């Protein structure tokens, strides 16, 4: 298929229309609400109807916004491809040579003969209504020509003039994915990540929308860069009225130099649209992930991770006691965290020496593994394969395996450096060690940590920048390990939530959402991580009464109810729990197991409640026959008693019974002072009423929550 082509893809209430006429790169005619069936003639008319006048003192042609914008076409915003060949060929002018459509996807090939470059674009609308695109750049110059030094590839999607507000994320260790909003003004709002991993301060999803958009209202467009290394994301509006979202990998100087015949493949860049707010935008990401062949299908097991129970003090008696208590309350997976390998008595030493420490485990891990499995639980293990302590046998024997510039070491972080997995021997060593450990103990789960940013990450001895090579090597390592051990599940943990993106999720089965399991902090962290990931991929654990990272004290109900809306587990020294604690925790685990199919297969909904102190969140079954909601009092309210809360996402025409759900049914005050519908065991109302008028919320103390069960009658 070639000249004169308009393409229109439709899926799940979204449309993507492309103008592929002429020799220039494809232009997006429309990305957003489903336009219905449109003929090529109608699409051509849409283009004509939107053709702007030529502005004074500008180029004398209409400047198109291609999916990869080019200065040669008159575009004066951020260019789509940057690089040079010994100072020349800095501005490309690609001409399309072929267009191949495959269902809801198109592959466009173009050449810049003068620059000696070929560009291949892959653009797709997924079944969930996500747009995704990536680019491959190939150096086609003769062998004796100078190589092409590529410095960046940026893929874009347009957003309309009415999208005048931006939302993105920032954060830090222990407070990831903190939202920030601002006006989408003329200029470029650029977010660059140079941490060598996705980052605790990653933008996650860059959203443009109508002013005041919320979870259930306002039209929104969002972009995500699926890459686990350095990346950039931008929102740009020009003086000519063009608005766009764009993203791609952030390449360090000299990181990609293409010799004759060599290619660079960009990350996938995803776009998600919501006609009625952020829930719809998030739902497309969730639907896409759930449709993957490798998405976790088995029930997400209740997990006990023992880090906050024992830290580095590995004592078989204490650990077997923990396992006994865990099994007794319904735990299904037991994970031994940091401290099991040679020399690892604190965080100053041992990383890289991936052998079981004989001084702590004279019989290996078998006594604990056998005990755990004898109780009917899976056994998992913590590793941090990409890091190395300078105080380790590995670092002393192979200092050349550390990422460095060649003449100095980067500053340490957490007493560690980064192992250069782009070095073939270092890669082979780590693969052999992980393979051996997984094989020896028949592991079904690895908690894969990554506890520092990459600083001055260069390959020794040349010192050439190595973040891209490191990222690709990690992908190869994960792929190879999973190939050898198909039953192995892997958690992406990176100082908590520092490596959360759609490309690492192609190789892992859940993320550790944050090292902070303070339930109040987790309410926000989990809410905004959910903009990208569904609940079953979010590691959400119940901690001790006093939070390890903040010192806050919360009730068990608030801690467990917060963890319920994810992949549930515990991070708690159960030997210090009271009998009452254990009995209550057993009840929460039983409730999680009952709700697990709903929580991990339903549609996530978030209420735009006017009181910022009361957060409404729920999961509705795909057929809308059942739902569960949490009403979380995250602060004191100005108003008392609380007002009504709407329960979004239900079938307007159906009747539903709404009732308190134990064990999350405890509220403030004696029973005689409680709401009538609460003490009567529920109320029956149409879905239309529940979604608009709602029900009166019960009074709660701050930092408490209640659960509501909703069943169609």
Active-site annotation, residues? 449, 515
Structure token pair of residue 598: 């709903």
Closest-CA residue to 572 (of 585, 557, 587, 588): 585
Q: Which helix (H) or strand (E) holds 540?
A: strand 538-543
- What lies within 8 Å, CB to CB, of 411 at 6+ separation is 455
CA distance 509 to 380: 13
Beta bridge partners of 148: 258
Report which of 501, 387, 384, 385 is spatially closest to residue 454, judged by C-alpha positions.
387
Closest to 315 in 3D by CA, of 333, 340, 349: 340
Tokens of 38: 């449109």
| Number of other CB atoms surrounding residue 393 within 10 Å | 15
CA distance 38 to 183: 34
Q: How far is CA 115 from the centre of its chain?
A: 37
Whether residue 51 contacts residue 91, with contact meaning beta carbons closer than 8 Å, is answered with: no
CA distance 417 to 435: 23
Residue carrying structure tokens 């902070």:
516
Put the strands of the sheet holding 14-19 in their side by side order: 6-11, 14-19, 27-33
Within 10 angstroms of residue 143's Cβ, the number of other Cβ atoms is: 7
| Closest residue by Cα to residue 509 from 217, 321, 297 | 297
Give the span between the Cα atoms of 584 and 577, in whole angstroms. 11
Look at residues 5, 271, 260, 252 and name the one whose alpha carbon lies nearest to residue 128: 271
The answer to whether the Cα torsion of 279, 282, 286, 287 is positive or negative is positive
Burial 38-61 (b: 16+ CB within 10 A, else e): beeeebbebbeeeeeeeeeeeeee
DSSP of 583-644? HHHHHHHHHHHHHHHHHTTSEEEEE--S-TTEEEEEEE-TTSSEEEEEEEE-S--SSSS--E
Closest CA to 528 of 179, 166, 130, 173: 179
Quick one: which of 108, 73, 118, 92 has its CA closest to 2? 108
């Amino acid at each position: 298929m070639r000249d004169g082509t308009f393409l229109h893809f439709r899926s799940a209430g979204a449309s993507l229309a492309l103008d592929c006429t002429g020799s220039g790169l494809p232009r997006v005619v429309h990305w957003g609400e489903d336009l219905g069936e449109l003929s090529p003639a109608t699409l051509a008319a849409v283009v004509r109807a939107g053709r702007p006048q030529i502005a004074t003192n500008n180029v004398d042609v209409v400047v198109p916004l291609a999916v990869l914008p080019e200065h040669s076409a008159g575009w004066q915003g951020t260019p789509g491809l940057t690089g040079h060949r010994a100072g020349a060929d800095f501005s490309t002018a690609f001409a399309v040579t072929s267009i191949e459509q495959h269902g809801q996807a198109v592959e466009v090939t173009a050449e810049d003969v003068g620059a000696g470059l070929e560009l291949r674009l892959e653009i797709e609308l997924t079944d969930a209504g996500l747009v995704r695109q990536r680019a491959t750049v190939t150096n086609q110059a003769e062998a004796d020509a100078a190589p092409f030094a590529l410095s960046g590839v940026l893929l874009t999607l347009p957003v309309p003039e009415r999208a005048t507000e931006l939302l993105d994320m920032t954060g830090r260790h222990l407070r990831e994915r903190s939202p920030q909003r601002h006006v989408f003004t003329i200029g470029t709002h650029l977010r660059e990540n140079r941490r060598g991993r996705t980052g605790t301060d990653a933008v996650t999803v860059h959203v443009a929308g109508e002013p005041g958009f919320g979870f259930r209202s306002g039209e929104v467009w969002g972009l995500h860069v699926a890459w686990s290394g350095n990346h950039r994301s931008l929102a740009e509006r020009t003086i000519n009225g063009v608005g766009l979202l764009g993203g791609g990998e952030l390449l360090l100087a000299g990181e990609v130099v293409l010799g004759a015949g060599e290619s660079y493949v960009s990350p996938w860049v995803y776009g998600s649209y919501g006609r009625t707010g952020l829930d719809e935008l998030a739902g497309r990401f969730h639907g896409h992930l759930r449709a993957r062949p490798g998405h976790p299908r088995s029930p997400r097991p209740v997990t006990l991770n023992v880090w906050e129970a024992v830290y580095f003090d590995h004592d078989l008696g204490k650990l077997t006691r923990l396992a006994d208590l865990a099994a007794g309350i319904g735990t299904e997976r037991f994970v031994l965290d940091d401290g099991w390998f040679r020399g690892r008595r604190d965080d100053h030493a041992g990383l890289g020496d991936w052998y079981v420490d004989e001084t702590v485990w004279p019989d290996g891990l078998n006594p604990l593994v056998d005990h755990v499995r004898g109780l009917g639980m899976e056994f998992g293990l913590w590793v941090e394969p990409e890091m190395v302590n300078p105080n380790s046998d590995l670092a002393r024997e192979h200092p050349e395996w550390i990422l460095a510039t060649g003449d100095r070491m980067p500053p340490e972080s957490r007493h560690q450096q980064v192992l250069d997995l782009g070095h073939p021997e270092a890669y082979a060593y780590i693969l052999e060690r992980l393979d051996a450990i997984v094989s020896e103990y028949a592991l079904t789960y690895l908690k894969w940590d990554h506890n520092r940013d990459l600083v001055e990450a260069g390959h020794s001895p040349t010192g050439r920048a190595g973040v891209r090579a490191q990222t690709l090597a990690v992908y190869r390592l994960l792929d190879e390990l999973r190939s050898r051990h198909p039953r192995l599940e892997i958690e992406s943990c990176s100082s908590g939530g520092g490596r959360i993106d759609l490309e690492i999720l192609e190789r892992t089965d859940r993320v550790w959402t944050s090292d902070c399991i303070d339930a109040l902090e987790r309410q926000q962290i989990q809410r905004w991580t959910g903009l990208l990931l569904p609940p079953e991929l979010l590691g959400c654990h119940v901690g001790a009464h006093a939070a390890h990272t903040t010192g806050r004290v919360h009730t068990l109900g608030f801690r467990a109810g917060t963890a319920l809306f994810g992949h549930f587990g515990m991070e708690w020294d159960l030997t210090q729990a009271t009998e009452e604690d254990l009995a209550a925790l057993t009840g929460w685990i039983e409730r999680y197991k009952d709700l697990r199919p709903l929580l991990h297969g339903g549609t996530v909904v978030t209420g735009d409640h006017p009181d910022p102190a009361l957060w409404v969140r729920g999961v509705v079954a795909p057929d809308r026959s059942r739902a569960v909601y949490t009403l979380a009092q995250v602060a004191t309210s100005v108003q008392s008693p609380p007002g009504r809360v709407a329960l979004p996402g239900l079938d307007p025409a159906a009747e539903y019974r709404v009732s308190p759900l134990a064990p999350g049914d405890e509220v403030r005050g004696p029973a005689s002072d409680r709401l009538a519908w609460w003490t009567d065991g529920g109320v029956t109302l149409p879905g239309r009423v529940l979604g608009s008028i709602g029900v009166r919320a019960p009074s709660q103390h701050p930092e408490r929550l209640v659960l509501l069960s909703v069943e169609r009658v």
